[in-house]
C-alpha cells in the first residue's frame, strides 16, 4: 500500500489515478501513523511553501515524514514536495523539512536569448529534463525527455551529486533529485503521459537504494 500524503496542498487525485492505472493500491492520508507504517510514500503538492509547512506541522506530518525517511522508507516528492524536503525556502522565507541539505530558490525569469524580454513565471507546460546521473527511478527513460511543469521556485541541494536531472527555463535548474531513500521531481510525473507513468512504475519497484 502506497501512502499519498495529504497536507491540503492539492494534486492528490491525479496521483492516485496514475497509481490505479498501474494497478497499485494507494491511500490518501493525513494520519501520521499511516505515514510511518507505509512501505513507501508519495509526497506531492502545489501551492506556497509557508502554508504547506504550517499544514504539515499542524497535522504532525512533518515529524512522520522525518521518521519515515530516517527509517529508510522509499519516498517520492513531487513539485512542492520536491522543494520543502530541503532546509529552507525563499518562498515565504520559511524553514522546511530538512531531509536534504539545501535551499529552495526562485526562478529569475531572465531570458538570456532575448535581453530585456522576461520569461513567463510560473514556468508552466512541457519542458525537457536532461538526466545527468543514473537512478533506478529513472531507468528506461531517454537521456532527454519532456515532462510537465508548473512552478515558480526550484530545489537547489547543497551538493551537485544529488542532482539527477536538469531543466532550462532561462536558467538551468535542478528538476530531479536523489538522496538516499528519497527521490524528487520538480515536474509532475502523474501529468506527463507514458514517461511519467514509467517514473511512477519504477518508484513502485524501487527498494530505496541506489
> Does residue 188 have an active-site annotation?
yes
> Does residue 190 have an active-site annotation?
yes
Cα–Cα dist 88/116, whole Å: 30
Catalogue the E-assigned strands of the chain.
2-5, 26-29, 40-43, 75-78, 88-89, 94-95, 102-106, 123-131, 144-151, 153-157, 163-169, 171-179, 182-185
The angle subtended at Cα 180 by Cα 55 and Cα 84, nearest 5°, is 25
Q: Which of these is catalytic: 79, 91, 96, 169?
A: 79
What sign for the dihedral angle of Cα 1, 8, 18, 146? negative
> Does residue 96 have an active-site annotation?
no
Q: Which of these is catalytic: 25, 123, 188, 210?
A: 188
Q: Which of these is catalytic: 91, 151, 169, 190?
A: 190
Query: Torsion over CA of 118, 119, 123 and 124, rounded to 10 degrees?
Result: 130
- Annotated active-site positions, please? 79, 188, 190
Amino acid at each position: 500500500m502506497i501512502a499519498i500524503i495529504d497536507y491540503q496542498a492539492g494534486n492528490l487525485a491525479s496521483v492516485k489515478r496514475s497509481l490505479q492505472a498501474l494497478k497499485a493500491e494507494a491511500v490518501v492520508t493525513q494520519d501520521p501513523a499511516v505515514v510511518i507504517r507505509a512501505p513507501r510514500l508519495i509526497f506531492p503538492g502545489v501551492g506556497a511553501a509557508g502554508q504547506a509547512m504550517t499544514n504539515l506541522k499542524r497535522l504532525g506530518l512533518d515529524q512522520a515524514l522525518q521518521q519515515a525517511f530516517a527509517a529508510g522508507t522509499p519516498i517520492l516528492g513531487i513539485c512542492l514536495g520536491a522543494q520543502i524536503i530541503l532546509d529552507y525556502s525563499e518562498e515565504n522565507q520559511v524553514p522546511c523539512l530538512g531531509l536534504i541539505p539545501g535551499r529552495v530558490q526562485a526562478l529569475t525569469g531572465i531570458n538570456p536569448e532575448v535581453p530585456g524580454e522576461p520569461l513567463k513565471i510560473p514556468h508552466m507546460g512541457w519542458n525537457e529534463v536532461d538526466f545527468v546521473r543514473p537512478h533506478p527511478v529513472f531507468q528506461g527513460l531517454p537521456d532527454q525527455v519532456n515532462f510537465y511543469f508548473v512552478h515558480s521556485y526550484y530545489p537547489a541541494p547543497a551538493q551537485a551529486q544529488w542532482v539527477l536531472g536538469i531543466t532550462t527555463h532561462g536558467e538551468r535548474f535542478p528538476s530531479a533529485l536523489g538522496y538516499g531513500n528519497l527521490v524528487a521531481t520538480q515536474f509532475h510525473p502523474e501529468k506527463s503521459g507514458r514517461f511519467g507513468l514509467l517514473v511512477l512504475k519504477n518508484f513502485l519497484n524501487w527498494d530505496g537504494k541506489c
